[in-house]
Amino acid sequence: MLPGSIQITGEALSAAEIKDICDSLKENSVRLLSVRGCQLSDRDFGRVCRGVAECHALAQLNLNLGVVSNTSRVKQLAEALNTNRSVHTLFLHGSPLTDAGLACLNPALSTHPSLVSLDLGDCMLGDEGLQLICGMLPPDGAKSGLKELTLSANPTVTSKGWARLAIAVAHSSQLRVLNLDYNPLGDQIAGMLAVAVASSRTLEVLDLEGTGLTNQSAQIFLDMVENYPTCLRMLILAENNISTELQQQISDLLSEGEEEEDKEGEARGSAGGREREKTTWVSQSSKEPGLQVSSTSSSHYALGGGQ
CATH at 69: 3.80.10.10
pLDDT of residue 79: 97
Q: Please, which residues have CB within 8 angstroms of residue 249's CB and are 6 or more apart in sequence?
A: 222
Residue range 94-106: average pLDDT?
Answer: 98
**Whole-Å CA distances, 6 to 168, 301, 306:** 35, 6, 9
Residues 116, 144, single domain; the answer is no
pLDDT recorded at residue 3: 62
When pLDDT is averaged across residues 59-86 and rounded to a whole number, the result is: 97
For residue 263, the model assigns a pLDDT of 53
- Residue 303 has a pLDDT of 39
End-to-end CA distance of the chain: give it in Å, rounded: 8
C-beta separation of 40 from 76 below 8 A:
no
Contact (CB, 8 A) for 68 and 97: yes
Residues 184 and 77 grouped into a single domain? no
For residue 178, the surrounding DSSP H or E stretch is: strand 177-179
The residue with greater pLDDT, 209 or 303, is: 209
- Rounded to 5 degrees, φ, ψ at 66 are 85, 10
SS3 content of the chain, % helix, strand, coil (to 5): 40, 10, 50
DSSP conformation letters of 205-218: EEE-TTS--BHHHH
Same domain, 149 and 253: yes
User: Which of the four pLDDT bands, split at 50, 70 and 90, describes residue 143?
Assistant: low
Do the domain assignments include residue 92?
yes
Whether residue 153 is found in the same domain as residue 85: no
Task: Provide the 10 A C-beta neighbour count for residue 167.
Answer: 17
* DSSP label of 139: B
pLDDT at 301: 38
Task: Name which residue leads in pLDDT, 3 or 189.
Answer: 189
Please give the residue range of the domain that contains residue 61. 1-124
The confidence score (pLDDT) of residue 75 equals 97
Cα Rg of the chain (Å, integer): 20
Distance of alpha carbon 267 from alpha carbon 244, whole angstroms:
35
Q: Residue 284: is its pLDDT beyond 70? A: no
Nearest to 35 by CA among 302, 285, 304: 302
pTM (two decimals):
0.86
For range 108-116, the mean pLDDT: 95
How sure is the predictor about 139, in pLDDT bands with cuts at 50, 70 and 90?
confident
Residue-wise pLDDT for 1-56, tens only, equals: 556 999 999 999 999 999 999 999 999 999 999 999 999 999 999 999 999 999 99
| Domains in the chain, number | 2
Average pLDDT of the residues of the chain: 86
